[in-house]
Structure 1
Amino acid sequence: MTYEITDEFLEKLVGLIYENNDSEIKKLFEEVHFADIAEILDELDFDDSIYIIKLLDSEKTSEILTELDEDTREEILKNLSAKEIADEVREMDTDDAADIIGELSEERQQRVISALEDDEHAADIKELLSYDDDSAGALMAKELVKVYETWTVAGCMRRIRGQAKDVTRVHSIYVVDKEDKLVGRMSLKDLIIAKSDQKIADICKTKVDAVNVHEDDEAVAKIMAKYDLEAIPVVDDNGVLLGRITIDDIVDVIRDEADKDYQMAAGFSQDVEADDTIWELTKARLPWLILALFGGFISVSVLGSFDGAMKNFPELFFFTPLIAAMAGNVGVQSSAIIVQGLANDSLKGSLFKRLLKEILQGLLNGFVLATLLMSAGMLFLGFNLNLGITVATSLISVIIIASIIGTFIPIILEKKGIDPALATGPFITTSNDILGILIYFSIAKLVLGF
């Protein structure tokens, strides 16, 4: 059942904070999940949030910090000492700890790491901070259960108890050789049903999916989604086991990428949120608006080159917005499908077959829409035959061309290493608007002769 934060709860909590009634506040949060507490803190004033963080024990607040809104967490971390932050990250898995510390300045990072009493934990965090932000190394956690292929099942059972206490959830047991190179994996079931004197090498599965520590995080997400993996081991260039990536981290990657693609499609040049400053929102939107303005200027120039149409066939201009809008809409539809296919790695087949498919579906859509438009035009607007042919032919042509452009621009961008989501935004809409107007008046000039 979803936890509901009510105004009455918040009023009660603020009253307890005002009274410094620490014992009642702790009781209030005893049965509340850390993710819900994070949501509560996002609703409170900053000073009240700090009060709660410093009041609750680190085992709980460490989980809360990972769930907080980034801006709220940033402000809270600014008001915690290096020792207090170290107390929080001490309770976290290494991947979460590295994420939290990575948000600090380099000077504060060093102070927090120095304040950690566990030297191994500190070394693991420093290692994770050394990897590129969008790599598997930055995403992985060092906590895992690792056994050697030469161990017996009985010896393995004794040794993994010490490792498992530091691992939140044991998805797999990873098997390595004497050089710590990954050679296999097994489940707890495999270990339990095996005979105690069997060697690990004899019962483990040698076919194991793994990713390189420098692999792009989006590529890791695709692999885990394709093979339905809850966790995947991470190795270096020599095959040495370094850590593991779990599904919860991959969900964050997928969500962040979806947010970025959605904003790019809407015409934002950088990642922003509704609560960002006016200046940040303006910087994100303005470049695309300038592009749209520039595209509109080109459209006006194109229209100006057909001034003869204005004198002889002024009714043509009534359909200019329709043609431009259809070009933009069809282009966005086509590009959205291709971008989705590229993102899901489900885009298969030859480019020629895809080209033929787009032409045929564009022809079918164009014919249906053109028939509807001509029928409505002749019934209600008194189209003459030549004008009807002009508009219908233009509409079919624009839909086919826009479909082809919407299909191939994302593919070209992908091959050039540019995010194909760029093709679903103002870029494709503006370019197809211009092209649609140009095609429309060129066909009109050919048919009507002006």
Structure 2
Amino acid sequence: MQFKISKELLAQIEQLIHSKNDSELEVLLNDLHHADIAEIFDELEIEEATYIFKILDSEITAEILPELEDDIREKILQGLSAKEIAEELDELDTDDAADIIAELSQSKKEEVISELEDVEHAKDIVDLLRYNEDTAGGLMGKELVKVNENWNVLTCVKEMRIQAEYVTRVHSIYVVDDENRLKGRLSLKDLLTTSTKTPISEVYIKKVDSVKVDTLNTEVARIMQKY
């Protein structure tokens, strides 16, 4: 059933906020999808939305942030410390994290980046911030699963398991050479039905559609729509 905000629900949430009944508020909201909570934020005063944001687990609030209207997200971020913002970004994929950091002032950006616990995650975010937001580089995320063309299937599966721990969604498996250059992509079906001793170079698909980091987003969209 599609979620709908009712006056009764909003009144209940506001009453729980004003009475500082955090435990019941968490129970009520934890059952909702993050997109629904973002929709509720649109209906609340910014102080109320910020209050809820601070009591929810960062795994939930990190999902809420990208869903918010720009002006609401900006106001909520203004009410958070650099450490609190960093805790949210540590939970996000690099592309979403970079988009949110880009909205901050230069001094706040530096503070937030210095507070990120995952050093590699911080490096990836900083790398993405170098690209123009209207290019492929500004759109992309750094999370991916990649394998070397010189590995065999067994090594490939072992390495994929390690990498997949840090990737939220695995849509494709990319094949690279020793210089980390894109060579093609790997079919999960081929991986599962091939002998573990078979070299990846014998089974990967060499045809792969790709763009450069400086390709304009309109061209990226055209290529994605076509292929």
Q: After TM superposition, is the score higher than 0.5?
A: yes
Does the residue aligned with 1:3 lie in a helix, a strand or coil? coil
> Identity of counterpart residues, as a percentage?
55
1:210 is the counterpart of 2:204: no
Distance 2:57 2:21 in 1: 16
Matches within 5 A, 1:314-393: none
- Residue deviations 1:235-271, cap 9 Å, x none? xxxxxxxxxxxxxxxxxxxxxxxxxxxxxxxxxxxxx
* Equivalent position of 1:378 in the other structure: none
* Equivalent position of 2:123 in the other structure: 123
Residue segments in structure 1 that go unaligned for 5+ positions in a row = 228-450
Distance 1:116 1:188 in 2: 34
**Which segments of structure 1 move beyond 6 Å, counting only runs of 4 or more?**
none
Matches within 5 A, 1:235-254: none
* Equivalent position of 1:38 in the other structure: 38
Deviation (angstroms), 1:192: 1.1
* Equivalent position of 2:20 in the other structure: 20
Distance 2:28 2:87 in 1: 23
8 A contact 1:135–1:217 mirrored in 2: yes
* Equivalent position of 2:141 in the other structure: 141
Deviation (angstroms), 1:162: 1.2
Distance 2:123 2:17 in 1: 38
Distance 1:63 1:190 in 2: 34
Deviation (angstroms), 1:217: 0.6
* Equivalent position of 2:67 in the other structure: 67
Deviation (angstroms), 1:190: 2.0
One-letter code aligned to 1:71: D
Distance 1:11 1:120 in 2: 43
8 A contact 2:98–2:128 mirrored in 1: yes
Deviation (angstroms), 1:52: 0.5
* Equivalent position of 1:113 in the other structure: 113
Does the residue aligned with 1:170 lie in a helix, a strand or coil? coil
Distance 2:28 2:164 in 1: 32
Deviation (angstroms), 1:51: 0.5
Deviation (angstroms), 1:159: 0.8
Does the residue aligned with 1:77 lie in a helix, a strand or coil? helix
* Equivalent position of 1:382 in the other structure: none
* Equivalent position of 1:195 in the other structure: 195
1:57 is the counterpart of 2:57: yes
8 A contact 1:94–1:143 mirrored in 2: yes
1:94 is the counterpart of 2:94: yes
8 A contact 2:177–2:183 mirrored in 1: yes
Distance 2:182 2:26 in 1: 45
One-letter code aligned to 1:126: V
8 A contact 1:136–1:220 mirrored in 2: yes
Deviation (angstroms), 1:187: 2.4
Q: Which has the larger radius of gyration?
A: 1
One-letter code aligned to 2:35: A
Distance 1:179 1:220 in 2: 25
Distance 1:150 1:109 in 2: 40
One-letter code aligned to 1:169: R
Q: Looking at both structures, which has the greater relative contact order when contacts are Cα pairs under 8 Å and sequence separation is at least 6?
A: 2
Deviation (angstroms), 1:80: 0.5
Deviation (angstroms), 1:33: 0.4
One-letter code aligned to 1:129: L
- Residue deviations 1:32-63, cap 9 Å, x none? 00001001011101110000100000000001
Does the residue aligned with 1:223 lie in a helix, a strand or coil? helix
* Equivalent position of 1:81 in the other structure: 81
One-letter code aligned to 2:142: K
Deviation (angstroms), 1:16: 0.5
CA RMSD between the two structures? 0.7
**TM-score, with structure 1 as normaliser:** 0.50
Distance 1:215 1:132 in 2: 10
Deviation (angstroms), 1:201: 0.7
One-letter code aligned to 2:209: D
Distance 1:26 1:109 in 2: 30
Deviation (angstroms), 1:124: 0.3
8 A contact 1:171–1:187 mirrored in 2: no
Does the residue aligned with 2:30 lie in a helix, a strand or coil? coil
Does the residue aligned with 1:146 lie in a helix, a strand or coil? strand
**TM-score, with structure 2 as normaliser:** 0.98
Does the residue aligned with 1:184 lie in a helix, a strand or coil? strand
Distance 2:146 2:86 in 1: 27
8 A contact 1:144–1:167 mirrored in 2: yes
Distance 1:168 1:221 in 2: 23
Distance 2:37 2:155 in 1: 42
* Equivalent position of 1:224 in the other structure: 224
* Equivalent position of 1:103 in the other structure: 103
- Residue deviations 1:374-414, cap 9 Å, x none? xxxxxxxxxxxxxxxxxxxxxxxxxxxxxxxxxxxxxxxxx
8 A contact 2:187–2:205 mirrored in 1: no
Deviation (angstroms), 1:199: 0.5
One-letter code aligned to 2:156: C
- Residue deviations 1:160-207, cap 9 Å, x none? 111112222211100000000000101222211111000111100001
One-letter code aligned to 2:110: Q
Does the residue aligned with 1:183 lie in a helix, a strand or coil? strand
